[in-house]
A and B are shown apart, each in its own frame.
Chain A
């Protein structure tokens, strides 16, 4: 008989959150978020292909406060997943496993993701002036 009342690994809730584990979970989370984001990508492209009426509805949503909030979430998720993905590829190549390096590269990709998100929005808001 399996006794499932004993503590089971990895027993996440007893561990103090660390940047290594938090960023790892965030990588998977942002990946799933981007999966949801593809629904909005498909909506945008299909609306543009369908005609002016459908595109006006999609454009109206993306320009609304809710649309902007959603796009901020998707854009940060994309840049985070991109930057941390490059960190993952470095690990796949056998580089950067020392604890100090792990912590440093973790903070670097968080700052890079935030900076790229801010840059994209600065460029995007410049373009919004055309609307």
Chain B
């Protein structure tokens, strides 16, 4: 027995009208973060105790800069997806929930952009 219409079955979006897009993006970013987070740790370790000029010199390496930018983009995407689920689970007041979901997206995009700008400036302008 299936009470769903033929159109709803074809769309495959389920009861939440969202399908598996969120679930899949969470897994895809998780897999990408396995190597990227280890690379991030290595970059941080290379910068421990270094002065500003030495950190800029690390970021001036194109491969390191690109990998750091990838780490920033993917990790903030993964964070946005994860915090969204936490908000949906624990905040039950509709207005507060919508505000928190908006703040989550704006905060993650804002911080990600700030980090990208900083890495680019260090990599290009030193």
Which of B2-10, B11-19, B51-59 lies at the interface with chain A? B51-59
Closest B residue to A129 by beta carbon equals: B49
For A, the interface residue count at a CB cutoff of 8 angstroms equals 34
**Complex alpha-carbon distance, A92 and B27, angstroms:** 9
Q: Note all chain B residues with C-beta closer than 8 A to A49.
A: 117-119, 121-122
* Cβ–Cβ contact B37 & A124, under 8 A: no
CB distance from B61 to the nearest CB of A (A): 15
Within 8 A of B (CB), among A33-67: 34-35, 38-39, 41-42, 45-46, 48-49, 51-52, 55-56, 59
Inter-subunit contact A42/B45 (CB<8 Å):
no
Instruction: Tell whether B41 is near chain A: CB-to-CB under 8 Å.
Output: yes
A26 interface hit (Cβ, 8 Å):
no
Closest to B119 in A: A45
- Residues A130 and B30 in contact in the complex (CB < 8 Å), given A38-B76, A49-B122, A124-B45: no
Closest to A45 in B: B118
Query: Which B residues touch A38, using CB under 8 A?
Result: 75-76, 79, 111, 115
Task: For A39, list chain B residues within 8 Å (CB).
Answer: 111
Q: Are B48 and A127 in contact (CB under 8 A)?
A: yes
Residue A131, interface by CB 8 Å:
yes
Tell whether A45 pairs with B27 under 8 Å between CB atoms, given A51-B52, A130-B49: no
- With A42-B111, A55-B55, A89-B31 known as contacts, the answer to whether A78 contacts B41 (CB < 8 A) is yes
